[in-house]
């Protein structure tokens, strides 16, 4: 037994979309459970939304001891000022040791607003979280071709954002129970920002974060035609199509398909990197792929240090042949 007194709880600010708890929130609850066990602390989740009472069970199953639920029509849509106010006032009372937020579009806005109000540090793009021997949270982030550990030694909570897919979904223990604490929406009206509408399109393609095959293309595609071939390959494999930053800059693909440090995190069974050099900013987004293969015309490209199968070839020649061979293989079965 540790002689040190328990510290404040490990918090996760969970996110719901249309009443569904997001995967990244469950992944973070799983990680919070590990950290809390090391600290001999509890795991608490803050969830804001409307009509959420019946959907909090997965948070307990993932490892939460307590869920603070704000359930009110004004909380239905994420609202920067209202959400910040509720989280900050509760945090000032409960004094969490650690506060984790998913690196989603709204999470990346909410987290710095909460951190500034709590006068504490916040680390972005974490790819690992560890408790060190001084019981401080090491927040590992990719930087300068390597990794950097950032700590917040004095102020609390220690805050970090983590993208979906960095940590696995925890084993769900359906028998686990916890305490549900209801929160009141603030009485003050926050009307400097008024949300008129939230529009979500059904994604047309396979979601990168949950795809079992990811085809990632780089600037080596050469031009839009070359990019089109890589898209065809992804379609034939029923894979999600991702890209590197230069591809976004070239305008061949949208930012939402970018894999890497400030983009999506993927953990597929198979990762195929085509015409990309293997910049760490990109490869850091490929976490826990089972098999990785890369095609690049330069045998010295750094990507070949990070994959299982390497093919030295011009992707504009190689991809059409690969598509042909995949079709032939499928027909032969």
Partner 1 sequence: MTLQIVVCVKAVPDPAQAGRIKIDPATRTLTRAQVPLAFNPLDRNALEAALQIREKSGARITVLSMGPSGAESIVRECLSLGADHGILLSDRAFAGADAYATAFTLARGIEKIGKYDLILCGMASSDGATEWVGPQIASFLGIPAATQVEELEQVDSQTLRVRSGMENGYRLMEIKLPALLTATRKLNRPRALSFSGIVKARKKQIVQWGLRDLGLAEDQVGQAASPTVVSAMTTRTARRQVEFIEGSIEEKAEILVQRLAQAGLI
CA distances 299 to 260, 273, 309, 310, 313, Å, are 22, 14, 12, 8, 9
Does 133 interact with partner 1 (rule: CB under 8 A)? no
- Which residues within the stretch 195-214 sit at the binding site for partner 1 (CB under 8 A)? 195-203, 213
Minimum distance of partner 1 from residue 280's CB (angstroms):
7
- Which residues within the stretch 173-192 sit at the binding site for partner 1 (CB under 8 A)? 191-192
Rg of the chain on CA atoms, in Å: 22
Minimum distance of partner 1 from residue 155's CB (angstroms):
5
Selected binder of partner 1 within 23, 34, 120, 210 (CB under 8 A)? 120
- Which residues within the stretch 248-267 sit at the binding site for partner 1 (CB under 8 A)? 255-256, 261-262
CA distances 13 to 66, 225, 267, 291, Å, are 12, 43, 23, 33
Does 4 interact with partner 1 (rule: CB under 8 A)? no
The answer to whether residues 284 and 260 touch, using CB atoms and an 8 Å cutoff, is: yes
Does 270 interact with partner 1 (rule: CB under 8 A)? yes
Selected binder of partner 1 within 47, 64, 122, 253 (CB under 8 A)? 122
Both tokens assigned to 141: 């982030």
Rounded to an integer, what distance in angstroms lies between the CA atom of residue 142 and that of residue 9? 27
- Which residues within the stretch 134-163 sit at the binding site for partner 1 (CB under 8 A)? 138, 143-155
**Nearest Cα residue to 304 out of 292, 314, 291, 322:** 292
- Select 177 or 309, whichever has its Cβ closest to partner 1: 309
Does 312 interact with partner 1 (rule: CB under 8 A)? yes
| Binding residues for partner 1, total number by CB under 8 A | 83
**Nearest Cα residue to 292 out of 275, 309, 313:** 309
């Amino acid at each position: 037994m540790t002689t040190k007194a328990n510290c404040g709880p490990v918090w996760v600010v969970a996110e719901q979309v249309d009443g569904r708890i997001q995967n990244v929130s469950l992944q973070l609850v799983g990680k919070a459970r590990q950290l809390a066990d090391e600290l001999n602390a509890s795991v608490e989740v803050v969830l804001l939304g409307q009509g959420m009472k019946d959907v909090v069970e997965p948070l307990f199953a993932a490892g939460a001891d307590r869920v603070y639920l704000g359930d009110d029509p004004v909380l239905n849509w994420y609202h920067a000022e209202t959400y910040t106010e509720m989280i900050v006032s509760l945090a000032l009372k409960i004094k969490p040791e650690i506060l984790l937020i998913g690196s989603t579009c709204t999470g990346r806005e909410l987290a710095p607003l909460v951190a500034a109000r709590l006068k504490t540090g916040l680390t972005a793009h974490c790819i690992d979280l560890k408790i060190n021997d001084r019981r401080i949270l090491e927040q590992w982030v990719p930087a300068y071709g390597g990794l950097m550990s950032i700590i917040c030694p004095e102020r609390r909570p220690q805050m970090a954002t983590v993208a979906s897919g960095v940590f696995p979904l925890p084993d769900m223990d359906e028998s686990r129970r916890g305490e549900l604490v209801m929160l009141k929406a603030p009485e003050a009206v926050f009307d400097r920002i008024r949300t008129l509408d939230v529009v979500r399109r059904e994604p047309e393609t396979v979601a990168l974060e949950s795809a079992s095959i990811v085809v990632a293309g780089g600037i080596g595609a050469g031009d839009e035609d070359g990019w089109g071939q890589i898209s065809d390959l992804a379609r034939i494999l029923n894979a999600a199509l991702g890209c590197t930053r230069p591809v976004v800059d070239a305008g061949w693909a949208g930012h939402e398909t970018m894999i890497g440090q400030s983009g999506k995190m993927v953990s597929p069974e198979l990762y195929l990197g085509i015409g990309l050099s293997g910049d760490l900013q990109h490869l850091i987004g490929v976490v826990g792929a089972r098999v990785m293969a890369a095609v690049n015309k330069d045998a010295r490209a750094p990507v070949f240090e990070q994959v299982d199968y390497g093919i030295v070839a011009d992707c504009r020649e190689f991809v059409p042949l690969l598509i042909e061979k995949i079709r032939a293989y499928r027909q032969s079965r």
